[in-house]
Amino acid sequence: MQTQYIYSASRVNTLVQYLLTMTDINRLLVAAPGDDLESALKETYLAPYVLQTTNGDIAEAIETTLIEAKVLLRQIAPQSEMLRVLWVQFDIHNLRVFSKAVALKKGFADIEAFVSARGIYEPSELFEYAEQGTLSALQSGWQEAFDVAVRYATAGEINRIDAEFDQLFFGTASRIANAHKDRFIQSYVKAVIDLYNIKARLRVSAHDQIALTPEFAAGGTIAIERMDTKEAALQAIEQLGGAVFWKTALAQFASTGNTTHIDARADEYLLQLAKDASADMFSSASLVLYYLQTRQAAANVRTIVVGKNSGMSEAAIRSNLRLAYVNN
């Protein structure tokens, strides 16, 4: 098993060199919207993917890179099933979409454009399981949660659907991590849960609306009693990476009540966690790190393309980029 990790880690460490680089980013940032930007994108790692799309669709190309990364990791990981903690969020996203579709009596063809192929299960097959009431044959508790969400959707209680599926995601991810007993995967899932709970507490404190109060997700390292106030949540987040790591993001939150920069920093914290652990060549961390880097590269491309097409300044776009461990 250990030698298999050495092979897979070496493979992804090589592949990451071909992702978005700072040179690529700087070229994209100075490109003019339209043909110049499209030309610059074709000089990045996206080039072969753009050629495979319909009419050079960048969004389709980006999605293809993420699906390909998932498929690759499934092939080379010594225990690929534990990496389902990375894919299951997309299945949960699809179930959110399906619950609303079922409530509106729509078929898969009506909502296909809104689902993701990055999950564990093929979206069309997952929809069939949902329609047949057999989702729990795939994962424990999924059908029960789906039925509850459909009732919420039918009643128009849309805000409760997200809470239901958030709990389902964290419960499923924790179960997968605990079943495989991989130390890094377990620590990664706990960190994801901690960040979710902290960000949820901060959002509620910023908007001061009871309706936004989410259920606390079990399975992290931070107890609910340690986040009963905004101040406690701020102290908790500083324990993940240190006060300096979060300083700019928390300053932005304090002045605007917006958690956008905290969300970006949270993604970088998970990258930091994986990078630190990847020093161990016998760890699953290198595989997780590669997927997070692939996802980060995709997020940066989206940020630049959307920013350019909406007329944002280079400085404004740059401030929204997630640059942790981008290649130079």
pLDDT tens per residue, range 134-173: 999 999 999 999 999 999 999 999 889 999 999 999 999 9
Q: Do 30 and 301 meet the contact criterion of CB atoms below 8 Å apart?
A: no
pLDDT of 324 strictly over 80:
no
Say which residues have a Cβ less than 8 Å from residue 223's Cβ, sequence separation at least 6.
none
Phi, psi of 327 (to 5 degrees): -65, 150
pLDDT of residue 211: 46
Interval 240-246 mean pLDDT: 93
Which pLDDT band, with edges at 50, 70 and 90, does 12 fall under? very high
For residue range 74-118, list pLDDT tens digits in order.
Answer: 999 999 999 999 999 999 999 999 999 999 999 999 999 999 999
Average pLDDT of the chain to the nearest whole number: 91
Average pLDDT over residues 178-186: 95
Residue 176 scores a pLDDT above 80: yes
Tell me the mean pLDDT in the region 271-292.
Answer: 93
**28-62 burial, b if ≥16 CB within 10 A, otherwise e?**
bbebeeeeebeebbeebbbeebbeebeeeebeebb
Residue type, 111: I
Would the pTM count as exceeding 0.85? yes
| Helix H or strand E segment including 197 | helix 183-207
Q: What does the pLDDT read at residue 210?
A: 47
Task: State the DSSP code for 326.
Answer: -
Q: Which domains does the chain have, with CATH numbers?
A: 1-79+294-328 (1.10.132)
Q: Which amino acid is at 270?
A: L
